[in-house]
Structure 1
Amino acid sequence: MLVILFRILIILTIIVIAYSLVKYIVKPERKLTKAQEKREFYFLDEEENVRKNFFITYKGLLFEGEKYLEATADSFDITRIHMLLDQHSLKGFRYEDFHFLEEEIRIRYPKATIEWSKPVKEFMKSSSTSAQPTT
């Protein structure tokens, strides 16, 4: 009887360890950290959860987007996104990089206007005015 109980306990332990290992491997936050270390693009978001912010990693930097739900003409939708920079190491970032990030956000939230935090906001304004051709 004791041997059977011990075998059941071992099997349950193996199941718990396997379950924990699978949960760790597929954890989205781990994928975000891994993409940040590899300096790759990764978009972590729960689109159905309006209250939860989304995270983007690109070229080793981590950006956080605050979603704001507001009424539109026909429904409630995400109409405004405020982008925050988690780290202030923007060395080497160009206007095209921020434009790429905005396009990726617009793919997921087409009705939203994107507002950047302080250092990026001025850079985007100055870069967009200097990028326009003069006539």
Structure 2
Amino acid sequence: MSVPGLPEAWAIGDCAAVPNAREHGAPSPPTAQFALRQGPLVAQNIARQVGGEPTQPFGYRPKGLMSAIGHNRAVARVFGLNLSGFLPWLLWRGFYLLYVSTLAREVRVYLEWNWAMFFPPDIAHLRFRRTGEDAESSP
């Protein structure tokens, strides 16, 4: 994950071409699943470099893939099993909910997601102003 030619620069995440040692050096896909595992290893590698120790290559084999494709629908490949519809959508939401930072935020996101499941956003409530209308004069 070190940048060639720049010994003190490191790159991880979806904008970096991080070679995956478990996939014969092919670049890691730009997904959160890989980025979440690159972070701790790059921190360890920086500490190793500072301590004069050799760094470790990144290697990770994914557990599966998930993608939301519309209202209450998703597709997923989990441990080789292909899924589509409502069940993988719930799995996708549950997985990402685990990575929300605090309990209060988890509860808020959970409630907002469930509210939106039954009551999708209504775009009819957008407010438009006429050209030249003073924003301060409106209620």
TM-score range, shorter chain: under 0.3
When normalised by structure 1's length, the TM-score is 0.23
- Whose helix fraction is larger, Structure 1's or Structure 2's? 1
**TM-score calculated relative to the size of structure 2:** 0.23
